[in-house]
């Protein structure tokens, strides 16, 4: 069951992580509650580092999930962070006092964000469009810096993934199409304040087939080879994120070595000068290590062909099911339940008929109000996408390591939900 946290065990139906009972934890910390198996995240970081080598530049995609303690853990392992907003930058800066190993991505970078990044000695900026080149030049020059930049190329490769998480292809908003990438390269090359440092793609999420990375790197290296006159230094090939991470029912995750080999061979096919690989994994680092615990409320037996269980969270803590129909396997972890199961619809507490966490969840027939339900493969794009819809306070986030349970993000209070009101 590799979609589950590595250190998750069950004893008489009660779930434990590293020997800590999730039932006791839910009583102590309340629900909804995000829980991370911290050792599993550490393990994922080491597996990437072993597969891609110490020389690779790791830029964890903060968009999957970020908090200060995670930045510290990444930094301890010599990993940097891929950010797309001032808020993500501020999280990195306040945790480790530097943006040196940070990559700034995104389609819309505000002046304030660019200034914040450059004035704090930010690492690389990935250029998404021709428009932003003059903004970057102006702000780098004001800060008397020669800013390292990489060019994000949009290749028409797509990926075998859900259309909502597809991030390359000519019908997508991300990056520079290859036809105008050489114009961007020349502008950067001729700039006094920007330093051309590499090339970047992100071909989508949940990529199973390493050949797709290879193809992307072949195209990037061909492009650079064609424009070699504008390349003066060791170049970064940023292959993006999108490494496959299983949900319930998916086959085993891919071997990371296969991705690493594919990326290297794609580059070396057309590029013989020095280079460094950069990658931006997000989901594959945190998703399976994360869980959300809910308390079951009323159970409505009078609806349609299956009973509804109403839980104390929903689309404000995990918008993924409503946004793109993602399914998360649910367990009743209250202990001593019947083996016999039946199908329930599990609905969130929000005022949207689409707030269904799981349309068809098989749970013990004696599931009752007050039971604790555990939603799995919920470490990525859940807390990071959480909202205050219905002014519901955002839930707490905790980590569990081999010897302690610790807070990662505090639960919001009712007052926090109105703190910005005038």
Ligand X SMILES: Cc1ncc(COP(=O)(O)O)c(C=O)c1O
Interface residues toward ligand X, by CB under 6 A: 61, 63-64, 82, 105, 167, 202, 205, 240-243, 280-284, 380
Q: What would the two tokens of residue 119 be?
A: 């004035």
Q: Least distance in Å: CB of 375 to ligand X?
A: 18
Q: Which is nearer to ligand X, 175 or 399 (CB)?
A: 175
Distance in angstroms (rounded) separating the CA atoms of residues 231 and 224: 8
Q: Give the count of alpha carbons within 13 A of 223, CB side only.
A: 28
Q: What would the two tokens of residue 325 be?
A: 């129909």
Query: Which 8-state DSSP code applies to residue 243?
Result: B
Q: Which is nearer to ligand X, 291 or 380 (CB)?
A: 380
Q: What would the two tokens of residue 73 be?
A: 């853990």
Q: Which is nearer to ligand X, 20 or 383 (CB)?
A: 383
Pairing of strands 80-83, 330-332: unpaired
Q: Which is nearer to ligand X, 210 or 240 (CB)?
A: 240
Which residue, among 140, 99, 123, 385, has the nearest Cα to 238 in the 3D structure? 123
Which residue, among 279, 286, 222, has the nearest Cα to 69 in the 3D structure? 286
Distance in angstroms (rounded) separating the CA atoms of residues 16 and 26: 11
To the query of whether residue 351 is one of the catalytic residues in this protein, the response is yes
Distance in angstroms (rounded) separating the CA atoms of residues 329 and 5: 13
**Which residues make Cβ contacts (< 8 Å) with residue 48, sequence separation at least 6?**
58, 256, 279, 281, 284, 285
Chain-centroid distance, C-alpha 306 = 34
Residue 299, classed as helix, strand or coil, is strand
Q: Least distance in Å: CB of 63 to ligand X?
A: 6
Q: Least distance in Å: CB of 4 to ligand X?
A: 19
Which residue, among 118, 62, 128, has the nearest Cα to 95 in the 3D structure? 62
Distance in angstroms (rounded) separating the CA atoms of residues 4 and 229: 49
Q: What would the two tokens of residue 253 be?
A: 């995750």
Q: Which is nearer to ligand X, 126 or 347 (CB)?
A: 126
Measured N-to-C along each axis, helices 38-52 and 256-268 cross at an angle, to the nearest 10 degrees, of 30
**Which residues make Cβ contacts (< 8 Å) with residue 275, sequence separation at least 6?**
234, 235, 236, 237, 267
Alpha helices in 53-177 (DSSP H): 68-76, 86-96, 111-119, 131-142
Q: Least distance in Å: CB of 243 to ligand X?
A: 6
Q: Which of 164, 180, 298, 351 is catalytic?
A: 351
Q: Which is nearer to ligand X, 18 or 197 (CB)?
A: 197
Q: Least distance in Å: CB of 194 to ligand X?
A: 20
- With tokens 């993000």, the residue in question is 409
Q: Which is nearer to ligand X, 82 or 355 (CB)?
A: 82
Residues that are catalytic = 351
């Amino acid at each position: 069951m590799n979609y589950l946290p590595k250190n998750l065990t069950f004893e008489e139906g009660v779930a434990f992580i590293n020997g800590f009972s999730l039932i006791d934890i839910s009583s102590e910390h309340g629900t909804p509650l995000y829980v991370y198996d911290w050792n599993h995240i550490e393990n994922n970081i080491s597996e990437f580092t072993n597969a891609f080598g110490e020389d690779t530049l790791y830029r964890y995609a903060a968009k999957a999930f970020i908090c200060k303690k995670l930045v510290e853990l990444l930094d301890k392992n010599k990993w940097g962070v891929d950010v797309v907003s001032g808020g993500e930058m501020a999280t990195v800066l306040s945790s480790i006092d530097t943006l040196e190993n940070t990559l700034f991505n995104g389609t819309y970078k505000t002046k304030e964000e660019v200034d914040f990044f450059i004035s704090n000695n930010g690492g690389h900026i990935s250029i998404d469009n021709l428009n932003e080149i003059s903004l970057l030049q102006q702000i780098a020059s004001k800060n008397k810096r020669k800013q390292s930049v990489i060019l994000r190329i949009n290749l028409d490769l797509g990926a075998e993934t859900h259309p909502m998480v597809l991030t390359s292809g000519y019908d997508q908003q991300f990056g520079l199409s290859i036809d105008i990438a050489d114009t961007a390269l020349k502008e950067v090359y001729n700039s006094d304040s920007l330093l051309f440092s590499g090339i970047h793609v992100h071909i989508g999420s949940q990529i199973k087939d390493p050949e797709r990375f290879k193809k992307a790197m072949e195209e990037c290296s061909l492009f650079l080879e064609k424009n070699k006159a504008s390349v003066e230094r060791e170049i970064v090939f940023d292959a993006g994120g999108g490494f496959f991470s299983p949900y319930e029912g998916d086959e085993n995750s891919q071997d990371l070595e296969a991705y690493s080999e594919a990326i290297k061979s794609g580059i070396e096919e057309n590029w013989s000068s020095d280079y460094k690989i950069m990658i931006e994994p997000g989901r594959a680092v945190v998703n399976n290590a994360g869980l959300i615990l809910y308390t079951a409320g009323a159970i409505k037996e009078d609806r349609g062909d299956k009973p509804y269980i109403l839980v104390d969270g929903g689309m404000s803590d995990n918008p993924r099911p409503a946004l793109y129909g993602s399914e998360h396997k649910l367990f009743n972890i209250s202990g001593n339940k019947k083996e016999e199961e039946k199908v329930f619809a599990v609905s969130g507490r929000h005022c949207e008929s689409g707030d269904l966490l799981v349309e068809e969840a098989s749970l013990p027939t004696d599931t009752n109000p007050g039971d604790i339900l555990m939603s799995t493969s919920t470490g990525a794009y859940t807390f990071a996408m959480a909202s205050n819809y219905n002014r519901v306070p955002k839930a707490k986030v905790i980590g569990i390591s081999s010897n302690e349970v610790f807070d990662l993000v505090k639960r919001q209070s009712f007052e926090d939900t109105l703190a910005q009101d005038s």
